[in-house]
Homo-oligomer: A and B are copies of this chain.
Amino acid sequence: MIGFVIISHSKNLADEVIKLCNEMKNYDFPIVNGSGKDKNILGSDPEVIKKAIELAYLEDGVLILGDIGSSISNAKKAVKLLDNFYNKDKIEIADAPLVEGAIVAMAINSGKATIEDIVLELKELKSFNKVD
């Protein structure tokens, strides 16, 4: 089982993604909001994301999902800030859409799938056609 960090440019949006995922998930694992910057609800910050990764950390790994460029670049900085207690090989930033990626990743996070399996599944999601 892995933990999740959700980062949106809007902290409230990330909260709603987490609520939806908590409604849909079948197992118990942490999903932590890594959004926000100082007291602002818009934007993101490497130190805030670092703390979220620490809270979401499980031995099997942590998957980080972000929406726009700054969420992702701040997530990369956050991973670098972690101390050696955390196995960085098991901490991945998803190349996946925030909402759709979170829903798919939660659905397969049953304890059987490794973080590598989940990352692979999310890569396949990119070529999925929603409409046709």
Contact = CB atoms under 8 A, between A and B. Distances in A.
One complex includes copies of this chain to the number of 2
Contact of A67 (B12, B68, B99, B131): B99
A13 B10 contact: no
Is the contact region of chain A dominated by helix, strand, or loop, or is it mixed? mixed
A98 B97 contact: yes
Chain A, interface size: which category? 20 to 34
Nearest to A20: B10
A9 B20 contact: yes
Contacts of A96: 130
6 contacts: A8-B99, A10-B16, A16-B16, A67-B99, A72-B130, A99-B99
